[in-house]
Amino acid sequence: MAHVIDDTCVSCGACESTCPVGAIAPGDGKFVVDADSCIDCGACESACPTGAIKAE
């Protein structure tokens, strides 16, 4: 099950650098998680300062 980033994302990029498989990239107004690449490790969730990342 992949993580998702909701609309409270402020596009700070903190999550992108913590993803060990590179599944997070800038999107249209917020960062997005590639569900096919995500290994559901949760590293991004703990790195997000706004709590915008949740397990789907």
For the chain, domains (ranges, CATH) are 3-55 (3.30.70.20)
pLDDT above 90 (res 1): no
Q: Phi/psi zone of residue 36: left (φ > 0), alpha (ψ -120 to 50 degrees), beta?
A: alpha
Handedness of CA 10, 28, 38, 8 (dihedral sign): positive
What is the pLDDT, as a whole number, of residue 46?
A: 94
Q: What is the pLDDT of residues 15-54, one digit of tens each?
A: 999 999 999 999 999 999 999 999 999 999 999 999 999 9
